[in-house]
Chains A and B, each alone.
Chain A
Amino acid sequence: MSAAFVKRIEVKELRLAYDSSEVIHGITFDVYRNEILAVIGPAQSGKSSMLRCLNRTIDFTASARWSGTVRVDGEDVRRTRDVFALRRKIGMVAPLPVGLPLTIYENVAFAPRCSGLTARADLDAIVERCLRQAALWPEVKDRLTSLGTALSGGQQQRLTIARALSHQPEILCLDEFSIAIDPVTTMRIEDVLKELRREMTIVLVTNLTQQARRLSDRTMFLLDGELVELDRTEVIFSDAARSQRTRDYVSGVFG
């Protein structure tokens, strides 16, 4: 490992249970600076739940209990003094596009406003930068005051990405972002991600194995809450993959 491989996220022995049913059975992995880590696996593998532990939005689920350690930039997320700063450091994009019932402008300006930014010029700059980064600016620049919820599904998903970028995260987590949008929009967002990887670390949860193959540096295969294999993407998608289950999953035998 060279000096370029700086650990941004360290997960050790993460176990998570809702009520009494355990959904993640002790997984350990790291995410390095400026890489795209793809997380693949069928539904109910614990992928989304794992993401919610990273920024501790799992706290909002009363029945969730978890153990193990999650460190972001070396800081234990459960000991952090400012959980809101942690959440701002991690941009989250949900599977279904959620335009907040606010204007397009306010959708993106919401997070900066929440952290106390009020100067109109600053907000304008952030809104334009994020919408440009999310490849949505040309389509909405003339109607920033119309409702975010009135946009089409693909546009709303890019709006969601713009909102996730608005608090200047250093890590971007996308949870099956392409589940509700068409292939063309998906490709546009993938191009956006290729741009973004220069400045941030990306965790890409996806059930499209080919998307993982196209975009990621390393791929992690989760199955029923267990980490089956984590390796460089070209290894996972080749016969060199160590586990038979991995080879079967990526070649479409199951899942």
Chain B
Amino acid sequence: MALAPAPATGRFARTPHVARKERAESLAQAVFAAMSAAMVLPLLLIVGYLVWRAWPALGLEFILDVPRRGMTDGGIWPAFVGTLYLVGLSLVVSTPIAVMAAVYLNEYARDNWFNRVVNLAVINLAGVPSIVHALFGLGAFVYAARFGYSILSAALTLAIMTLPVIIASTREALASVPMAFREACWNVGATRWQTIRAVVLPNSISGILTGVILQVSRAAGETAPIMFTGAVFFKAVERGNLFPYGLSDQCMALSMHLYTLATQVPNVKESLPYATAVVLLGSVLLVNASAIALRVFLRGRKRW
């Protein structure tokens, strides 16, 4: 304790009870701090180990090159671009739907049975395991909608998977805008939509975007949903071609590629799966970091 103990006189005497209380306090703080520090350790170990094992293969060349010699050598370009396609397309589909649904639920919906059902659906959809989403995607998009085994089917499956989470994060962002702002707008005869456009959305956009960007990492990491609906082990693609796939093509993806290299291909150069993991992890961390940067930037412009 930095403070000197008070002189043991009068009413401010240091009683045994106070001493016990202080010991318990410092013990509690030490334990909690140790647990927080322990959080950092696994991350450092994982990243450190991956980078160490991946080191021989790492480099820009690894990202830009295509797999060679029956996927035992070369780079990951088709998988890298495939992941960009899948994640980008899925968020383009899910973000507008999710944000508009969240605006309805938070700004318009009254407490009636219909909205309770919608709420329940959103919560339950968020709890569905990804393998179930995969089967749903297979049935709904690949077969029923006849999109076939394609990027479109896989991206739509990922979109369904990210929808409920974006709805939840958007609702939270909207709810953080003080009610008094809305009431002030309603009092001067503004409609709900005018209120939403002028005050609610501009002041919740940082939270909304953060929620969306965090779903990038989730969509990029999932294997099961795309494996059933449009991702393949191997697809021949030119080196460095930015637009190798069409919507109805099948594609490679990083998460799937990692699984393939690690379990399905014999005699892979040892550093390749690790390097793939590093690229996947690195892209995800980069996206998350940009989400934080964006939030800091937008919070700096916050207006109250």
B199–A101 CB distance below 8 A: yes
Q: What number of A residues sit within 8 Å (CB to CB) of B?
A: 29
**Which of A57, A94, A100, A166 has the most B CB atoms < 10 Å from its CB?**
A100
Q: Say which size band chain B's interface belongs to.
A: 20 to 34
A87–B187 CB distance below 8 A: yes
- B residues 275-304 in Cβ contact with A at 8 Å: 302-304
Q: Total contacts A to B, CB within 8 angstroms?
A: 74
A114–B303 CB distance below 8 A: no
Contacts of A147 in B (CB 8 A): 303
B199–A98 CB distance below 8 A: no
Contacts of B187 in A (CB 8 A): 55, 57, 87, 91-92, 94, 164
B186–A100 CB distance below 8 A: no
B186–A163 CB distance below 8 A: no
A84-B190, A164-B188 given; name 9 further pairs at CB < 8 Å: A55-B187, A57-B187, A60-B182, A84-B189, A98-B183, A100-B199, A110-B185, A110-B188, A163-B188
- Using known A-B contacts A114-B194, A147-B303, determine if residue A100 contacts B185 with beta carbons closer than 8 Å: yes
Q: Closest CB-CB distance, B115 to chain A, in whole Å?
A: 11
Q: When each residue 103-135 of chain B gets 1 if its CB lies under 8 Å from chain A and 0 otherwise, what string results?
A: 000000011000000000000000000000000
CA–CA, A55 and B185, complex, Å: 13
Query: What residues of chain A have their CB less than 8 Å away from a CB belonging to chain B?
Result: 55, 57, 60, 62, 84-88, 91-92, 94, 96, 98-102, 110-111, 114-115, 147, 149, 160, 163-164, 166-167
A96–B180 CB distance below 8 A: yes
Residue of A nearest to B202 (CB): A101
B181–A115 CB distance below 8 A: no
Say yes or no: is B191 at the interface (Cβ < 8 Å to chain A). yes
- Our pick among B183, B191, B198 for the contact of A94 (Cβ within 8 Å) is B183
B184–A111 CB distance below 8 A: no
- Using known A-B contacts A62-B110, A101-B304, A102-B198, determine if residue A94 contacts B188 with beta carbons closer than 8 Å: no
A111–B190 CB distance below 8 A: yes
**Which of B110, B182, B189, B190 has the most A CB atoms < 10 Å from its CB?**
B189
Say yes or no: is B203 at the interface (Cβ < 8 Å to chain A). yes
**Which of B180, B184, B190 has the most A CB atoms < 10 Å from its CB?**
B184
